[in-house]
Amino acid sequence: MDAKERSSDKAAQEMIERMAKAGQQNAWDRLDLQKPQCGFGKQGVCCRICAMGPCRITKKAKLGVCGADVDTIVARNFLRAIAAGVAAHSDHGRTVAEVFIATARGEAADYKLKDTTKLFKLAEEMGVETKDRSVNEIGVDVGLIALGEFGKPEGTQLMARRAPASRQEIWNKLGVTPRAVDREVTESLHRSTMGVDQDYKNILNHASRVALADGWGGAMLATELQDVLFGTPYPGRGEVNMGVLKKDEVNIIVHGHEPILSEMIAAASQDDELLGEAKKVGANGITVAGTCCTANELLMRHGIPIAGNFLNQELVIATGAIELMAVDVQCVMQGLSTVASCYHTKLVTTADKAKMSGIEHVTIDERDALNTAKKLVRMAIDNYKNRGDVYIPKDKKAAVGGFSFESINYMLGGSFRSSFRPLNDNIINGRIRGIVGVVGCTNPKMPQDLTHTTLTRELIKRDILVLTTGCATIACAKQGLTNPKEALELAGPGLREVCEAVGIAPVLACGSCVDNTRLLVSCSELVREGGLGNDMSELPVAGVCLESVSEKALAIGQYFVASGALVVFAEEVMPILGSENVSDYLFNGIEKDLGGHWAIESDPVKAAEMIIEHIEGKRDALGINKEAERKLYDMEDRRALTVE
């Protein structure tokens, strides 16, 4: 297959060709070798939960050996995938909580509770006394309460109280208000084992509950605690794509998800002693760049460059310019070890729960984090002399990141009174038609980045503000869409006017995948601010991910649906179509229960149309389209009067 069909990213195309010439394999090649992929898996109709199986549902065999029907099997698989996604985000959150507590207790000297304003806000929300207490004392209590949310024996998620009252009522009525994360994940596995829950709607209800434990629990806590620990992001500049690598410097890639590691490597790379050592080996400096969500975390907080998203991870190594790639958890392809072995690149795993066979492991211990990071940087410096042939594509774009909930609030409301009011007003007056979250991965089944960027262009052209997270953010940034200068040219007149006045791009980079919770908090605030209905399901908003890869994306999709939003995925990545009942419930029926629903569309332009129609429908229902029309009519009237 031609490199252009594999990726819409020019730098990636060059690297794909370079790897092909060298006879090296990447994800696209492995996908080709997997073809044709299993139709049963794609439809979600294969079950291997018990030893009477594996069973798969066909025209001839309509039931599994235990008698499970297609609805049960598809729903169970969907629930299990979501539970795995929830476990991933939430385990990340739990690690952050542990480091947070160690920091507050003074056991992790290299970290600090940086954002005390946010700490005090969290303390208030959690009922932690702040009067006459030190930051660290408050921090210990906040950290312990947060850690409790993952496994507390009783009660529901504290963060779920951030949702509008109407939303909480809907959850309570349906019995899906999330309890402890561990409990919801455990119950997901229990319910979906052989011979337990056999009512697809009941299974899907729990899919909502476990997903909500992520969105309004584990992942939200990950974001909140990271903000306190590393600083709440505010808009800042950075650069994106492989052109950020430097031919004459030691290049280090940090890849994965938890900023615990990358924050320290970024700090270590600025150490004078290490910079001196780099000089001694003939390098002009040390460049740290990120891939995947870790990259978003670093761009958001420090403006550290991004080398690429999920499908770039192998390509980056093939530049021959990477001295060391340090990985922690999630979305780390095992294929990296093969590519790294073709170059001088040292691949190092750092999380004890995520090792790779035959790959060096250096544990990041929070009690000695900076020294561990320095050790890794030193390994990179030592490796500089082993470089062979280097080819770095030139492509890179200026990007702006850093749109936390707090910074959006600040940018819009100004320094005197941070507020969502101007955003609500501009949605009501129709300059901004609505808000869409363009999120998620890059999948070799589709040309890399193309659906995210085509869709985003369509949306901003039609005056829809785009908030983006995860690898979709990097896709947009690679094409200049998060850069106000370039992107404003592509925005519709209303959106452009608002963005120009505030000084932002029409596409706001909101961070990593756990940071999708920033979007939930923003939706909640849109309701609270007033004028856009009483519940999140009334808002002119939607979420979309057409290049999804990970189970985490399904968890995110489900918690947005269960929070009242429309969520659009591509058919190729939605393993539920084997059951008409499950599909019908997720595409339609669930709306009656939770106000949101799933939809399938693979074509980005058609997906944009679908979303716009949904947004206009919500606007009609709110009566704000009528208001805008009436205003226009009044103006015409007035003009007519003046002429007379």
Q: Which residues bind ligand BF8 (CB under 6 A)?
A: 257, 292-293, 309-310, 330-331, 440-441, 470-471, 512-513, 549-550, 552-553
Q: Which does 471 bind (CB under 5 to 8 A by kind): ligand BF8, ligand SF4, none?
A: ligand BF8
Candidates 4, 30, 48, 280; binder of ligand SF4 (CB under 6 A) is: 48
Distance of closest approach, residue 68 Cβ to ligand SF4, in angstroms? 4
State how far the Cα of 163 lies from the Cα of 524, in Å rounded to an integer.
Answer: 6
State how far the Cα of 222 lies from the Cα of 217, in Å rounded to an integer.
Answer: 9
Shorter beta-carbon distance to ligand BF8: residue 325 or 412: 325
Q: Which residues pair with 240 in a beta bridge?
A: 306, 397
State how far the Cα of 190 lies from the Cα of 471, in Å rounded to an integer.
Answer: 32
Is 492 among the residues that bind ligand SF4 (CB under 6 A)? no
Q: Which stretch binds ligand SF4 (CB under 6 A): 27-35, 45-53, 123-131, 288-296?
A: 45-53
Cα-Cα-Cα-Cα dihedral of 360, 363, 368, 369, to 10°? 80
CB 202 within 8 A of CB 188: no
DSSP label of 214: I
Q: Which does 54 bind (CB under 5 to 8 A by kind): ligand BF8, ligand SF4, none?
A: ligand SF4
Shorter beta-carbon distance to ligand BF8: residue 85 or 434: 85
Shorter beta-carbon distance to ligand SF4: residue 52 or 501: 52
DSSP label of 448: B
Q: Which stretch binds ligand SF4 (CB under 6 A): 4-12, 41-49, 133-141, 302-310?
A: 41-49
Q: Which does 281 bind (CB under 5 to 8 A by kind): ligand BF8, ligand SF4, none?
A: none
Is 196 among the residues that bind ligand SF4 (CB under 6 A)? no
Candidates 53, 148, 231, 413; binder of ligand SF4 (CB under 6 A) is: 53
Determine the size of the site formed for ligand SF4 (CB under 6 A).
Answer: 14
Is 65 among the residues that bind ligand SF4 (CB under 6 A)? yes
Measure Cα distances from 507 to 187, 415, 453 in Å: 38, 22, 11
Shorter beta-carbon distance to ligand BF8: residue 205 or 468: 468
N-terminal to C-terminal alpha carbon distance within the chain: 67
Q: Which does 530 bind (CB under 5 to 8 A by kind): ligand SF4, ligand BF8, none?
A: none
State how far the Cα of 137 lies from the Cα of 104, in Å rounded to an integer.
Answer: 7
Q: Which does 49 bind (CB under 5 to 8 A by kind): ligand SF4, ligand BF8, none?
A: ligand SF4
Cα-Cα-Cα-Cα dihedral of 378, 383, 389, 394, to 10°? -10
CA proximity to 520, closest of 469, 569, 474, 570? 469
CA proximity to 254, closest of 307, 315, 333, 319? 307
3-state secondary structure of 18: helix
Site for ligand SF4 in 19-38 (CB under 6 A): none
Cis peptide before 447 (omega within 30 of 0): no
Shorter beta-carbon distance to ligand SF4: residue 47 or 146: 47
CA proximity to 307, closest of 345, 349, 341? 345
Q: Which does 543 bind (CB under 5 to 8 A by kind): ligand BF8, ligand SF4, none?
A: none
Question: Which spans of this chain sit near ligand SF4 (rule: CB under 6 A)?
Answer: 47-50, 52-55, 64-66, 68, 73, 194
